[in-house]
């Protein structure tokens, strides 16, 4: 195993054991919300977002799932804080391209810790685990939060 793959595994395990932003936002602070589910793996996610105009100033999640799902949600929340919704959409496209093996090498550098999921594309069933939080976030910030987001 390469040194970078080993570091990525440690990062994913750390975020699974100690997920960041694992909480709910108070109702008065929450600008948008969405619930997500991955029926294949059983992952569930409730995502709260606080916006200031179109900038994410706080984001939190709760739920249960596999290590990939939990770590992805944790690292995603850290990665999108302070970004505009447009920047988040661009980041989603890059991340999604990476995990579906449509790698975009020049853009992957902008992923930071999210690059830890670069090997997920080798395991198609895990792609849904890694992208659940992202799809849920896209629905939340689009204003369609009344529907359940599913990876099916």
Segment 36-94, tens digit of pLDDT = 999 988 999 999 999 999 999 999 999 999 999 999 999 999 999 999 999 999 999 99
Give bridge partners of residue 33 from the DSSP assignment: 48
Which pLDDT belongs to residue 102? 66
CATH number, domain at 49?
3.90.1010.10
Task: Establish if 93 belongs to a structural domain.
Answer: yes
Helical (H) or strand (E) element with 36: strand 32-38
Residues 27-31: contacts with CB within 8 Å, 24+ apart?
Answer: 29/58
pLDDT tens string 105-127: 677 778 899 989 988 888 888 99
- pLDDT of residue 4 exceeding 60, the answer is yes
Any domain includes 69? yes
Q: Which of 47-51, 96-100, 138-142, 144-148 has the lowest mean pLDDT?
A: 144-148
Domain interval for residue 20: 3-147
In a domain, 152, yes or no: no
pLDDT band at residue 104 using 50, 70 and 90 as cut-offs = low
According to DSSP, the residues that pair with 49 across neighbouring strands are 32, 59
Domain assignment present for 63: yes
Cβ-proximal residues to 9 (8 Å cutoff; 6+ apart), any chain: 1, 116
Q: For residues 31 and 151, give the distance between their C-alpha atoms in angstroms, rounded to a whole number.
A: 23
Tell me, letter by letter, the H, E, C secondary structure of 124-136: HHHHHHHHHHHHH
| d(C-alpha 100, C-alpha 145), whole Å | 25
Residue 9 lies in a domain: yes
Q: For the chain, how many structural domains are there in total? A: 1
């Amino acid at each position: 195993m390469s040194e970078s793959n080993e570091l990525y595994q440690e990062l994913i395990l750390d975020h699974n054991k100690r997920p960041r932003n694992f909480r709910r936002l108070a109702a008065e602070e929450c600008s948008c919300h969405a619930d997500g589910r991955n029926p294949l793996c059983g992952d569930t996610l409730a995502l709260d977002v606080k916006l200031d105009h179109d900038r994410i100033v706080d984001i939190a999640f709760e739920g249960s799932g596999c290590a990939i799902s939990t770590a992805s949600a944790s690292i995603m929340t850290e990665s999108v804080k302070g970004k505009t919704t447009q920047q988040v959409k661009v980041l989603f496209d890059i991340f999604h391209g990476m995990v579906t093996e449509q790698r975009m090498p020049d853009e992957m550098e902008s992923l930071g810790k999210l690059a830890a999921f670069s090997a997920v594309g080798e395991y198609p069933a895990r792609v849904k685990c890694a992208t659940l939080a992202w799809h849920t976030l896209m629905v939340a910030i689009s204003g369609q939060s009344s529907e359940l987001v599913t990876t099916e």
